[in-house]
Amino acid sequence: MTPELPDGVERRPFDERERLATRGDPVYGEPTDGDWRVWDAGRSKLGAMLSVGMDTGLDGGETVLYLGAASGTTVSHVADFAGPTYAVEFAPRPTRDLLPVAEARENLFPLLKDARKPETYAHVVEPVDVLVQDVATRGQAEVANRNRQFLREDGRLLAVVKARSEDVTADPEDVFDEFLDALSGYEVLETATLDPYHEDHLAVVARPTR
Q: Is 135 annotated as a binding residue?
A: yes
Annotated ligand binding at 64? The verdict is no
**CA pair distance 148, 170, nearest whole angstrom:** 27
Is 7 annotated to bind a ligand? Reply is: no
Binding site annotation covers 89? yes
Does residue 85 have a known ligand-binding role? no
- Determine if residue 136 is labeled as part of a ligand binding site: yes
DSSP 117-142: -GGGTTTTPPPEEEEEE---SS-HHH
Q: Collapse the DSSP code of 40 into the 3-class scheme (helix H, G, I; strand E, B; otherwise coil) and give the result.
A: coil
Question: 191: closest CA among 169, 165, 151, 160?
Answer: 160
What's the CA gap between 51 and 74, in Å, rounded? 14
Q: Is 114 annotated as a binding residue?
A: yes
Q: Are 98 and 71 in contact (CB under 8 A)?
A: yes
74 a known binding residue? yes
Beta bridge partners of 6: none
Strand-by-strand arrangement of the 85-89 sheet: 108-112, 85-89, 64-67, 128-133, 151-162, 201-208, 186-193
Which residues belong to the annotated binding site for S-adenosyl-L-methionine? 73-74, 89-90, 114-115, 134-137
**Which segments are annotated as binding site?**
73-74, 89-90, 114-115, 134-137
